[in-house]
Chains A and B, each alone.
Chain A
Amino acid sequence: MEKISFDQLQEQLYHEKLDNGLSVFLLPKPGFQKTYATLTANYGSIDNHFVAGDGSEKKVPDGIAHFLEHKMFESEEGDVFQEFSAQGASANAFTSFTRTAYLFSATSNVEKNLTTLLDFVQEPYFTENSVEKEKGIIEQEIKMYEDNPDWQNFFGLLKGLYKHHPVQIDIAGTVDSIRQISKEDLYTCYESFYHPSNMVLFVVGNLEPEKMMTLIRANQSAKTFPESNPPQRILPEEPVDVQKTEAVIPLPVQTPRCLIGIKQPAAGLEGRDLLQHELGMQLLLELAFGSSSSAYQRMYAEGLINDSFSFDYTSEKEFGFIAAGGETARPDDLVEALRRELISLKQSGVEADHFERLKKKKIGFFLRALNSPEYIANQFTRYHFNGMNLFDAVPVLEALDAAYVERLLEQTLDFENRMTVSKVIPAGEASAG
């Protein structure tokens, strides 16, 4: 077991890669009541086309990673939630574009709960009957999101940005696509992506690393797994240009929504370089649109944005995009303003004082986030799958300079054929524009 110290943050991280390929990270947090654990597969909604273990090419129904996440909670003995409750833990799971995470938090019976977590995720049990039953539940989950205008707008944006890439597919799939899912499909996906070598276990909380690692080793060495066979994903060729420049979604809303998206080329970086790139992009957006920027004050005063305004840079190995927007009474004017503000930042350049203040803000954000075991485990895992280390964020931030961010500004904010707009407008006004 390897120990990595982050002195300034006063954190010690323990790591071991087990014989079966499972990567384990333990972060002791003295003073905390709870222990929080996530077991995450490097597998998400975008992994819908791949070469299966028998060498055959598989294209699976949309939403299957999320469906699989739901179904894992059923074991031969019944419902895993009951077991966690009896052991005083609260358990959950989530699926993103690129990850499926199973988690629990507990303030007692930590060893038992950890064993339950490892065992239920590593013992799939699906029956035709239970797969059919789950369809009704997930159908209601999909319908709940159909009534969520911000979610609809976000996927409207992704569909505008991408021609072929599966990131545009709703994580839960559609009512029609999940109806096609069979027990066999679930086993195929499970076998292709849930090998320990494609997973990370992260445990954070009031724990003793040696003792816990011993427990994990024993649990894992008592199980047999097939030879590790790295998943072979088949991703479509995605052009640099966007699929379309505008999408309009009529929905029964009181206030319209508007998002702009700028498609980014895959950064082609890894490790600390990728971290620097990601943090630099976030600072850049904060400079352009953050609540202390003059652009924010102007757009607010003109009535183009309200408290719901937000912006984000999403980057993974194969895709990246900027999204900005929120509720607005005048979507078209907001699009113009956002475009204008970016161009004007490009012309005026980065102001040194503002940049230094935002660096401080971002450092403060990380310190605050390190209070949260949930944030640490989830973000560490995401960074890890992309070859980065979460705890490097503060030193990398401290070393960032304005010149670097100005170069990013030059390279990335190229709107030519890369920008798309998605608007949710009150139903009935579709033709009024």
Chain B
Amino acid sequence: MPEAKKTKSVRTTVIPSSTFKTTTFVMHIRTPLQKEYLTEKALLPSVLERGTKHFPSREIIQAALEEMYGAHLTADAVKKGEHHILSFKLEVANEKFLKETVPLTERAVQMLASIAFYPNLNEKGAFPDLIVDEEKRNHAQKLAGVKDDKMRFANKRLAEIMCEGEPYALPVLGYEQQLEAITGESLAKAHESLLKDSVVDLYVVGDVNEQEISRYADQYMKFSSRPLAPIRSAFKKPDEVREVKESDEVSQAKLHIGFRTPVVFGDKNYFALQVFNSLFGGAPHSKLFTNVREKESLAYYAASRVESHKGLVIVMAGIETTQYDKALSIILQQLEDIKNGTFSDEDVSKSKAVLRNQLLETMDSPRGRVELEYHGTLIGENWNADNWITEIEKVQAADVKAAAASLELDTIYFLHGKG
């Protein structure tokens, strides 16, 4: 795999590849996940998409994107561990597949820079009230809508209950009350502060010329980004297991279980944790899938996932309300079994084969490549699929047992039907 190259100004990483018919630009603007400006940061992506200094309305932005052969722009706010990240992604056709010649690469960098750094402020230096009001209304629906997606809602509740008082408990979309108080001025202030205090990373994947990208980045993205010390979430051993049951109008009950582990991305044991997760509930050969679903017919889905930068393993299953005790005990038993080494060498090799395949498949998606690189960026190290695979291959059965043993049950959350 070609070495990714870093350039100065906005930290730019070019990942050369001739596999794709498009060029993908991803810009991550990262700040610590904290209460200050939480809702403003969540609202900003949609307001920034409503117009820039150079493209003053959504219609004009959209028309420019259409003119760029349907360049595809997305903007959102996500949390990764205890980072709050505003993500802007732009994917444009590679010029060589088009009948006419258009400088799409340069226009893409211009567009991305314009959206993130040059907002359309009024004479008072504020975002226009009309747009802020419309986007606040839209955002309020998004906030309310979390409750309409039961899996997402249960995940949010689990994080709030389990990590109360820690940044991780903060909801990525912010709070309704904070939203109400936002004005064009306060949002402009939040944007200014964001540009001052964040770390900005630009990734470009495609058949592009690196010098050309650096030149455009220097020209259009003049920006003094401050290095941010890597954030390492402190491991908090739970004092006691919390069991929280809530009721709602649901056909299917949601059982979400949170475990803590001191192992996070960057640790020596991290890859063993990944192999453990694949065996526990990360794939269709896993213990959760085969026992909770195939053997006992209790669920359509029963899976686990790792929150790499926070040290959490989350189990999720959709079940009948009446099957709570049975499902919970089977799930916990699967973890005990792995802790006790009740699995075969073949189970370990299957889990490693599945992970290896997932990593290699990631390489086939431009965004997947960026995601993988960004894991390393978050802890100030260089990581790519090849390094990951090398580390996965080293994992032995004893390491999987140890990874399982590192888990501490913290919170059991159950969202069940009424009556």
Contacts and interface: CB of A to CB of B under 8 A. Distances in A.
Contacts of B68: 360, 364
A34 B251 CA distance: 38
Contacts of A137: 293-294, 297, 299-300
A372 B21 CA distance: 10
B252 A371 contact: no
A423 to B, nearest CB: 15
B97 A368 contact: no
B350 A86 contact: yes
A290 B57 CA distance: 15
B70 A364 contact: yes
Interface string B1-31: 0000000000000000111111000000000
Contacts of A138: 300
A291 B62 contact: yes
B59 interface: yes
B137 interface: yes
B402 to A, nearest CB: 22
Given A33-B364, A135-B297, A307-B138, A364 B72 contact: yes
B363 interface: yes
A252 B148 CA distance: 8
Interface in B41-92: 46, 57-59, 62-63, 65-72, 91-92
A75 to B, nearest CB: 13
B357 A106 contact: yes
Nearest to A107: B360
A89 B19 CA distance: 21
A424 to B, nearest CB: 9
B396 interface: no
Contact of A371 (B22, B71, B138, B289): B22
A306 interface: yes
A229 interface: no
Interface stretch (B139-147, B224-232, B257-265): B139-147
A230 interface: no
Contacts of B363: 33
A34 B359 CA distance: 10
Interface residues of A, number: 72
B319 interface: yes
Contacts of B62: 290-292
Nearest to A305: B138
Interface in B378-410: none
A357 B67 contact: yes
Interface string A245-259: 000000111110000
A341 B267 CA distance: 57
B66 A357 contact: yes
Interface string B286-299: 00011001100111
Interface in B126-175: 130, 134, 137-138, 141-142, 144-145, 147-150
A140 B361 contact: no
A51 interface: no
Given A360-B69, A361-B70, A367 B22 contact: yes
Contacts of B239: none
A303 B63 contact: no
A32 B70 contact: no
Given A85-B285, A137-B300, A144 B252 contact: yes
Given A367-B21, A367-B93, A107 B250 contact: no
Contact of A90 (B144, B283, B318): B283
Interface in B84-111: 91-94, 97-99
A140 B93 contact: no
Interface string A117-139: 00000000000000001111110
A140 B300 contact: yes
Interface in A292-338: 292, 294, 297, 300-301, 303, 306-308, 327, 329
A45 to B, nearest CB: 17
B91 A368 contact: yes
A253 B146 CA distance: 10
A9 interface: yes
B17 A31 contact: yes
Contacts of B319: 140
A358 interface: yes
B58 A297 contact: yes
A17 B244 CA distance: 58
A74 to B, nearest CB: 9
B121 interface: no
Interface in A72-119: 79, 81-82, 84-91, 105-108
A33 B17 CA distance: 12
B350 A301 contact: no
A144 B294 contact: no
B300 A149 contact: no
Nearest to B206: A371
A34 B21 contact: no
B293 A255 contact: no
A146 interface: yes
B219 interface: no
B350 A85 contact: yes
A292 B251 contact: no
B354 interface: yes
A31 B248 contact: no
Nearest to A252: B249
B179 to A, nearest CB: 14
A49 B228 CA distance: 64
B354 to A, nearest CB: 5
A144 B22 contact: no
B141 A327 contact: yes
Contacts of A88: 353-354, 356-357
A79 B294 contact: yes
B281 interface: no
Contacts of B365: 371-372
A373 B364 contact: yes
Contact of A34 (B57, B298, B360): B360
A29 B320 CA distance: 45
B360 A368 contact: no
Contacts of B46: 307
B193 interface: no
A10 interface: yes
Most buried by B among A106, A253, A364, A370: A364
Most buried by B among A86, A251, A363, A368: A368
A362 interface: yes
A147 interface: yes
Most buried by B among A90, A361, A363: A361
A8 interface: yes
30 contacts: A8-B99, A33-B360, A34-B360, A34-B364, A79-B294, A81-B284, A85-B283, A85-B284, A85-B285, A90-B283, A90-B358, A108-B353, A137-B299, A140-B298, A140-B320, A146-B251, A253-B148, A307-B142, A308-B145, A329-B141, A357-B63, A360-B66, A360-B68, A363-B70, A364-B68, A364-B70, A364-B92, A367-B21, A371-B20, A371-B22
Interface of B: 17-22, 46, 57-59, 62-63, 65-72, 91-94, 97-99, 130, 134, 137-138, 141-142, 144-145, 147-150, 248-252, 283-285, 289-290, 293-294, 297-301, 318-320, 346, 349-351, 353-354, 356-358, 360-361, 363-366
Interface of A: 8-10, 29-34, 79, 81-82, 84-91, 105-108, 133-138, 140-141, 143-144, 146-149, 251-255, 290-292, 294, 297, 300-301, 303, 306-308, 327, 329, 357-358, 360-365, 367-368, 370-373, 398, 427
